[in-house]
Amino acid sequence: MPLYDYKCDACQTKFEQEHAMSVPPVKTCPHCGQERVRKILSTGGVMSGGMSRSPASGPSSPCGMGSCGSGMCGMS
Ligand SMILES: [Zn+2]
């Protein structure tokens, strides 16, 4: 069951609540009772990075030796 982080805008209290994804998020602050609670995204989420890794096929030197343009690698 995922753990969610919440913060109350009224009293600035942060708290965690564990509930299923199908359950609506917490609205009422357990400390001050006001409905000023916001869900905050926990750090280390799944949406960071991702697109940086590229395959080892460069556009200029398919042999990886950097000398393909001169015909020295023998792979062209
Ligand atoms: Zn509060």
Which DSSP helix (H) or strand (E) runs through 51? Answer: none
Domain boundaries, the chain: 1-43
What was the pLDDT predicted at 48?
Answer: 46
Region 15-38: what's the mean pLDDT?
94
Kindly report, residue by residue over 46-76, the tens digit of the pLDDT.
554 455 555 665 566 556 565 556 666 666 5
Report the separation in Å between the CA atom of 19 and the middle of ligand 1, taken as the mean of its atom positions: 19
Question: Pairing state of beta strands 37-40 and 3-8?
Answer: antiparallel
Q: What is the mean pLDDT of the chain?
A: 77
Distance 20 CA to ligand 1 centre (A): 22
> 10 with 32: CB under 8 angstroms?
yes
Distance 32 CA to ligand 1 centre (A): 4
- In the reported structure, the alpha carbon of residue 34 is separated from the centroid of ligand 1 by a whole-number distance in angstroms of 6
User: What dotted CATH number matches 1-43?
Assistant: 2.20.28
With b for 16 or more beta-carbon neighbours within 10 A and e for fewer, the 38-56 pattern comes to eeeeeeeeeeeeeeeeeee
